[in-house]
Structure 1
């Protein structure tokens, strides 16, 4: 991507005419609406999972893919869309992504079984990849100076709002209208975004058209590698982590990634210009969302299931409780932006956010089936702050280190790590939870008269459907067996939490080393 045309710099805000300012305002509003929908979709879908599972009678693996299908597709295609946007134009790519997302959301609302829903969520992930990559590149192209910093702060804030309102909005929709409306709302929002595309095209300087071609071999190899990797993680609990199938998938992912790197080094216009990875500070900043994926996104995705399975709360109550986790993501990005303007180092805030993730995850072990919510309110708020303080701030800081001609590719790489790590983190969490829970169920199921089919019972329990798991077990004393499943789920949940905190701590150490040794200079 080293030969891309450098986008025209936006003129200083004082030199803009009123129509140009209005065009940029409308552009920012449309991009932010699309950006709002994507995280709202992720967090909202998590709340709806128990109802989706009950309605479609889905097991854990296909139910996981309602979330994982979106995340894997997003991870696979974010980098692809970023490079494509630098070639064909960011507005065209953004519009295409919004259209794909709208169609997929409508298809999800009409899904008749979980496999159909999985497919539509994967398609939505492809569209979401374009929205995030191209949306960030459009902001980087259309704005400059202080207005650019403010636009990226709003980018992070709006993404936080989407995360924050997703659980409560989805909970209200599920209870009032049914889970299908969670996806129908997304389709309506993206239709509004598509109506604003002509305005965006007029406001954003023309980019692309440099003669470069889409890196089809590199794109295909990257997609295959991500699919192999995530499938191995998701199926680990089903097939066994040491099974030939899982080990073969992991080995295949490593081989394909190696081939991908070799191909990219030889292409004139690679999907990923590997020279940007030589900037340690850029790489360190790109790893910050990876830590957030393990420390925050896993809780965002599966804490509603814990609240349903271990504490017996319904979707509406779970959605309200989740506001404690998501509310900081709503306010912290703008707080971080204001602190930076007042002289606080952006890197200092990044380090604080990482510390919050580790401390928050450790403190969330206070959760129990009978816990008073006030006890876990502070840990949830701290964990949310760990996500919110770096949201938006990381994007702006990272893209400032890269040549504007490579903004689409750089944004694609950043968001590939962000959503790719989310897909992996969510898959790891689900698989490890299922593995640990299966062990707990197998150890204790013999103490309950009539209970059998430990594997299938554990599978359903891991998806949060304790009622159906108890029914399937054949236990004579159903009340006692349901209580046993809730306790087993609680124990498995705490085991996984300790592991997440450990992963976050290791990532924090790696990021600190990269940021300390990195250069603040822009990579050409």
Structure 2
């Protein structure tokens, strides 16, 4: 009997290690890959739009397939789905490591996003099947902490790898970690078979993926071809049309991926909009700000990663602080409104400081405020949002929460990249190209930060001013979107009838 207990504990430890290693890699990849963009641009000579898809492709498929994998796990089992996702991530990491052109890398990043979505969706399902009671609480606490560690140290780890080796080695490290995960999956038990397998909302999944892809492609192409270009407008129009069709299909589906009737609950709507503000304030900086630090402040990738700790460390610490404050009687609404204020003030200060010769101290203050906004809200939003709906709607409420969170992250990151590209393109149009440089490639290199190493003197000063001005305009747009969304959230929070 004692031997069986020891074996069970050993098996549970292996399962937990398997899930946590994978959960650490995915956010590390999200927060760490952007720091390698200048090196990737220099090595693969990528154009602006194709370089943006190194980031956008992962965000698109991760956002689109997180919900899809939940349905696939119900049909095929969480263990099989998790192994399939980890295998895809392993393969994608190898392809990224070996990519000899930007298009292969873009495709590999899209594949990694699909695998990463399975790791998060199915990994949590495996923990629910394996653990119960206090063990389950501990397992999910470790799950959340590990994801936070990945976000926190992703830029620093990637910056360190970039400093001692090269951008390809970032992906080979991911591949090694996922290979270990695949070895450990042998300890994961298969889920009990259901008498009746639930139906998969295949039509909804496909429509959501296509709509998000068209909208993100329109955003990316708008920066390069112009926002009134026929192709750009066609992509936006088709994306909006398919998104509307997706909403109609979900409303009539017997087992919808997203239940939009929940949006009638104004308090629930306010909760799911908070991650949207986080996407435009926190996630955009997490993804693209390392490039700004490398380009404008001439920091090394490792130094850039260390500065990014100011943004990410509060996400590791403050969720626990927020939880303790609520248990001691502090209003969760007050903390969430405070998080919105921190988002806005942090971004506003970054914009104001950027108007002059911004110092590292000013950068760190701004990043700490935005990170604090994320940290305060991250530990509260999900629990509150799911507590204000009927208990039988919790699963679908989680689905729509993830749709808003991940969809807005993908769109926000794409908007940031496109706004930067547009600003730089228009500014460079009136400037002579440096000798030996081609127009499109040089613009791509400026956007990625790679061009700054090739110029000096007055040319370097001109490029820095152009990049800084584009960044200021981009921050203003992000601020405007975040401020409008925050005011809407506060207005919706006033209606708590559904909560009661």
| C-alpha distance in 1 between matches for 2:18 and 2:398 | 18
Aligned to 2:412: 425
Residues 31-69 of structure 1: per-residue CA shift (max 9 Å, x gap) = 333222211101110111111111111122111111101
Q: 1:462 to 1:493 in 2, by over 3 A?
A: same
Q: 1:309 to 1:355 in 2, by over 3 A?
A: same
Aligned to 2:363: 376
2:166 match: secondary structure: coil
Aligned to 2:447: 462
2:160 to 172, 175, 189: 172
| C-alpha distance in 2 between matches for 1:348 and 1:152 | 26
1:112 match: secondary structure: coil
Between 453-462 and 346-355, the greater mean CA deviation after superposition: 453-462
| C-alpha distance in 2 between matches for 1:266 and 1:349 | 37
| C-alpha distance in 2 between matches for 1:210 and 1:276 | 27
Q: How far does residue 198 in structure 1 lie from its aligned partner after superposition?
A: 4.7
Unmatched tracts of structure 2, length 5 or more: none
Is the Cα–Cα contact under 8 Å of residues 311 and 368 in structure 2 kept in the other structure?
yes
1:501 matched to 2:479: yes
Q: How far does residue 114 in structure 1 lie from its aligned partner after superposition?
A: 1.2
1:389 match: secondary structure: helix
1:127 matched to 2:115: yes
Aligned to 2:469: 491
1:332 to 318, 326, 331: 318
1:415 matched to 2:402: yes
Q: 1:450 to 1:101 in 2, by over 3 A?
A: closer
Is the Cα–Cα contact under 8 Å of residues 438 and 455 in structure 1 kept in the other structure?
no
Residues 136-180 of structure 1: per-residue CA shift (max 9 Å, x gap) = 445566667777666555444322211111111101111112111
Q: 1:376 to 1:87 in 2, by over 3 A?
A: same
1:36 match: secondary structure: helix
- Residues 294-373 of structure 1: matches in 2 within 5 Å? 294-365=280-351, 366-367=353-354, 370-373=357-360
Q: How far does residue 29 in structure 1 lie from its aligned partner after superposition?
A: 4.5
1:510 matched to 2:498: no
Aligned to 1:264: 250
Q: 1:87 to 1:394 in 2, by over 3 A?
A: farther
- TM-score (norm. length: structure 1): 0.85
| C-alpha distance in 2 between matches for 1:339 and 1:144 | 26
Between 432-441 and 483-492, the greater mean CA deviation after superposition: 432-441
- Residues 91-170 of structure 1: matches in 2 within 5 Å? 91-138=79-126, 152-170=140-158
Q: How far does residue 253 in structure 1 lie from its aligned partner after superposition?
A: 1.0
1:72 matched to 2:70: no
Between 255-264 and 188-197, the greater mean CA deviation after superposition: 188-197
Is the Cα–Cα contact under 8 Å of residues 85 and 93 in structure 1 kept in the other structure?
yes
Aligned to 1:441: 428
Aligned to 1:7: none
Unmatched tracts of structure 1, length 5 or more: 1-16, 471-477
Residues 302-326 of structure 1: per-residue CA shift (max 9 Å, x gap) = 1111112212222122111111111
Q: How far does residue 372 in structure 1 lie from its aligned partner after superposition?
A: 2.8
- Residues 39-54 of structure 1: matches in 2 within 5 Å? 39-54=27-42
Q: How far does residue 364 in structure 1 lie from its aligned partner after superposition?
A: 1.1
Residues 95-119 of structure 1: per-residue CA shift (max 9 Å, x gap) = 3222221221122112111111110
- Residues 188-337 of structure 1: matches in 2 within 5 Å? 188-201=176-189, 206=192, 210-337=196-323
Q: CA RMSD in A?
A: 3.0
Q: 1:403 to 1:21 in 2, by over 3 A?
A: farther
Is the Cα–Cα contact under 8 Å of residues 86 and 207 in structure 1 kept in the other structure?
no
| C-alpha distance in 1 between matches for 2:95 and 2:319 | 33
Aligned to 2:46: 58
| C-alpha distance in 2 between matches for 1:370 and 1:453 | 30
| C-alpha distance in 2 between matches for 1:198 and 1:399 | 33
Between 23-32 and 278-287, the greater mean CA deviation after superposition: 23-32
Residues 452-473 of structure 1: per-residue CA shift (max 9 Å, x gap) = 8666533321121224775xxx
| C-alpha distance in 2 between matches for 1:72 and 1:397 | 27
Is the Cα–Cα contact under 8 Å of residues 46 and 444 in structure 2 kept in the other structure?
no
Q: How far does residue 408 in structure 1 lie from its aligned partner after superposition?
A: 5.7
Is the Cα–Cα contact under 8 Å of residues 79 and 409 in structure 1 kept in the other structure?
no
Aligned to 2:69: 81
Is the Cα–Cα contact under 8 Å of residues 257 and 399 in structure 2 kept in the other structure?
no
Is the Cα–Cα contact under 8 Å of residues 150 and 337 in structure 1 kept in the other structure?
no
1:343 match: secondary structure: coil
